[in-house]
Structure 1
């Protein structure tokens, strides 16, 4: 059941510090990453090519989110701000003074009309996409470590996971939670909402994942399996797969219908802080404190890499060409494409 990951070059590589946030654009073309190196990076989701490096935050970047039209990316930071970036021009649109302490979590609604952020100032703030604040909700008197939003056709509400071991369900334009989800023993580090809005998933320091009825707040299922804190959660757009990342560096894939463990993904050497599925649910991207981003095939659990055999072939050809006469080196000096594969 556990997928083996031999040593090979990761598809995405380039952050010199921990990766705290990842996101996959709704058109499937881009992956965004947020790092303690104070930058956001944008990647071609197919080739792994780095398309943009977005500096500007004054401290580590904690989370990243795409607008549904793929034109904008939002980032939150320990510098207490949210930045809004234009993807086409790779430029900063505006900086929002978002919270009075670290901004730790961020999500954008699937209709692009709302952005929600959670901070260490114990508040959850809701914004319009241009950075104008719509409302502020104080929940639980503790830092908000994770946020997720229901689809607008399911009500457009959001769920916030708190350091105080509770999660809170807040309706649009509300000033206080509609439901308090109590049951975890320890901080809630991950939240997710099913596409139909019927189920909420939470995970945290008690090493469990819980599914809840979003209408009643009752627990549907408690999922055990991790041997260490669960730090991140993601659900596929089709609602069939749930991914959880742990302090140990391991990722688990679950069947949401049965709660059955499908496979374990091993490859990270430290905490997995963030996860995101591709829109077709065929791939999963993970970001870790080990400074790496990894992309996985969900059907096999194999890690998507730059094919090591092709890299070797490219080196051999390059060496052979250096041994040829100069005129032939010039004639054959066009760059060679390096193919991508899975392991």
Structure 2
């Protein structure tokens, strides 16, 4: 048995180095051709237990904890990459391949408006906490910022226009990824609020301004009050589920991280290895491994009350997890 597992391990590693590993590109049409069930994004619709998820095949569905079936909200003849939800107005903003940003009335289940982005797409859109600003960067590196209340838009200063939008903080500042630093730009004052010297892909920012930043297979956690790296971690191994043998094999190999979220006390990271890791914010200790997905995890969201996370994958899998549930390592 040990010899068989060893041979299997070598085969998997060989496949990786031969270029046969999973690879996520949100703006690739190929996933739609492979699996129309692939979830591209997920967002909470209520305080907890109810979410909205999108697919490459154009569905926006409602998923409820404990229910195995989707409730189809709307079906669009376009690929959907990213969702945000305005809970007060019950509006969904969906970033698509060909139709720009669609504005959907969640109650009436219909498209009520669209925001044009001139023949390209945005893979990730961001909505301010007050629902006034919507922002993102297009595939051809054009930045878009909409004032949703006044049906107008903002332009970044020329000095920032060639950088990409990485998010919106709790104060409504647009976060700009300027290579070696993140710049927080106030659209209303047309001024820079602050700069943080750091590099990587911003995945989450909490209400205190702490940041989760990805570097391919690694992540870094930055504390705002120290303005420095608190710790750097990666998934120590690849917990591969061997279906034929109903066995979990630990492969000492790190794969790319794809999704992450910050809660009040914890950091959640997920990736191509199909696992979610729960880390302690204070010391970087690994508290829990959640190995229930059977495909690359494409998105994670945190409930409005911060008591629950939800994750989705590229085979249509979904998982709800209670944040405050104690793990065996706590």
TM-score for the superposition, normalised by structure 2: 0.70
Q: Identify the residue that residue 63 of structure 1 maps to in structure 2.
A: 82
Q: Identify the residue that residue 60 of structure 2 maps to in structure 1.
A: 40
> RMSD value over aligned CA atoms?
3.1
Contact 2:103/2:112 (8 A) holds in 1: yes
Contact 1:204/1:231 (8 A) holds in 2: no
Note the C-alpha offset of 1:80.
5.8
Q: Identify the residue that residue 228 of structure 1 maps to in structure 2.
A: 255
Q: Identify the residue that residue 291 of structure 1 maps to in structure 2.
A: 316
Larger Rg: 1
Note the C-alpha offset of 1:113.
1.6
Give deviations 1:43-70, integer Å, cap 9, x for gaps.
Answer: 3356465333322252x21111110326
Note the C-alpha offset of 1:244.
1.4
CA separation of 1:27/1:282 partners in 2, compared to 1, >3 Å: closer, same or farther?
closer
Q: Identify the residue that residue 330 of structure 1 maps to in structure 2.
A: none
Note the C-alpha offset of 1:131.
8.7
1:196 aligned onto 2:208: yes
Give the alignment partner of residue 37 of structure 2, picking from 9, 17, 20: 17
Give deviations 1:219-252, integer Å, cap 9, x for gaps.
Answer: 232321222222112223xx22222121222111
Q: In 2, distance between residues paired with 1:262 and 1:19?
A: 27
1:170 aligned onto 2:185: yes
Paired residue secondary structure (2:154): strand
Note the C-alpha offset of 1:266.
1.1
Contact 2:49/2:320 (8 A) holds in 1: no
Q: Identify the residue that residue 339 of structure 1 maps to in structure 2.
A: none
| Count of aligned pairs | 272
Q: In 2, distance between residues paired with 1:140 and 1:208?
A: 27
CA separation of 1:194/1:47 partners in 2, compared to 1, >3 Å: closer, same or farther?
same
Q: Which has the higher contact order (CA 8 A, sep 6+)?
A: 1
Q: What is the 5 A alignment of 1:26-105?
A: 26-28=46-48, 30-45=50-65, 47=67, 50-58=70-78, 60-69=79-88, 71-79=90-98, 81-98=100-117, 100-105=119-124
Note the C-alpha offset of 1:277.
1.8
CA separation of 1:128/1:140 partners in 2, compared to 1, >3 Å: closer, same or farther?
closer
Contact 1:79/1:103 (8 A) holds in 2: no
Q: In 2, distance between residues paired with 1:93 and 1:112?
A: 17
CA separation of 1:201/1:74 partners in 2, compared to 1, >3 Å: closer, same or farther?
same
Contact 2:47/2:305 (8 A) holds in 1: no
Give deviations 1:264-288, integer Å, cap 9, x for gaps.
Answer: 1112233222101223333221122
Contact 2:48/2:308 (8 A) holds in 1: no
Note the C-alpha offset of 1:140.
7.5
Contact 1:121/1:143 (8 A) holds in 2: no
Contact 2:275/2:293 (8 A) holds in 1: yes
Q: In 1, distance between residues paired with 2:301 and 2:113?
A: 25
